[in-house]
Each structure stands twice: as C-alpha cells, then as structure tokens.
C-alpha cells in the first residue's frame, strides 16, 4: 500500500460550487475510484482554495491514476472539474496533482 499526498489549487471564486459538486459525487465515479484501489481518500481545503488530497492505493499512485484514466466516467468528471482549478498549463485536474514526498508516518 502507498500513502499519497498531493496539492491542487481551486479558483477562489469557484470554491463554493466545487464543494457542492463534492457533496454530490456521482455514484459511478465513486465506484470507479474504489474499483481502481482509491481508499481512505480525503480532500482538505484552505479558504484560499489551496487543497491537500490524501489517498491510499494498493500498489502505486501512477497505477491508480492510469486505471482511472481508462474510465469514461472519470473523463466526464475531469472535464466538469477542469474549470475549477488554477493550472498554469491547463489540463485535467488528475494530470496536475503535485504529489508530495512522504517524510514521516506514525502507524
């Protein structure tokens, strides 16, 4: 199992709408995440839209991302979410996650 932390930045004027979408994530999206091993997945956000994500995956994060990349529901979700993010080079949110190095863990 790999623990993964990552950063993303939501545009400040879109924060409320972004949160609303995440109160109502499509059931088929949730099932796809589970099917590709996304467990204990959480998102945390500062008031300015800087977001920290945490997820545990069975093997490695890239394999979990690659699995989701092949899902039609993920393509639709990423297209819906793309306008909410500050991404210097544009692109899908799942392609702009800045993965953080784990430097400590207390089990």
Catalytic residues: 22
Cα–Cα distance for residue pair 50/67, rounded to 1 Å: 26
The angle, 0 to 180 degrees and rounded to 10, between the axes of the packed helices 61-69 and 27-35 is 140
Q: How far are the Cα atoms of 3, 7, 25, 46, 61 from residue 107, in angstroms, in the given order? A: 12, 23, 30, 26, 20
Helix or strand or coil: residue 43?
Answer: strand
CB atoms within 10 A of CB 55: 20
């Amino acid at each position: 199992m790999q623990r993964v932390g990552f950063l993303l930045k939501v545009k400040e004027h879109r924060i409320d709408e972004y949160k609303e979408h995440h109160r109502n994530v499509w059931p088929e999206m949730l099932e796809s995440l589970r099917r590709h091993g996304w467990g204990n997945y959480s998102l945390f956000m500062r008031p300015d839209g800087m977001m920290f994500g945490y997820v545990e995956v069975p093997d490695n994060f890239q394999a979990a991302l690659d699995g989701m990349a092949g899902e039609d529901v993920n393509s639709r979700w990423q297209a819906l979410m793309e306008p909410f993010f500050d991404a210097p080079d544009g692109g899908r949110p799942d392609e702009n996650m800045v993965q953080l190095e784990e430097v400590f863990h207390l089990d």
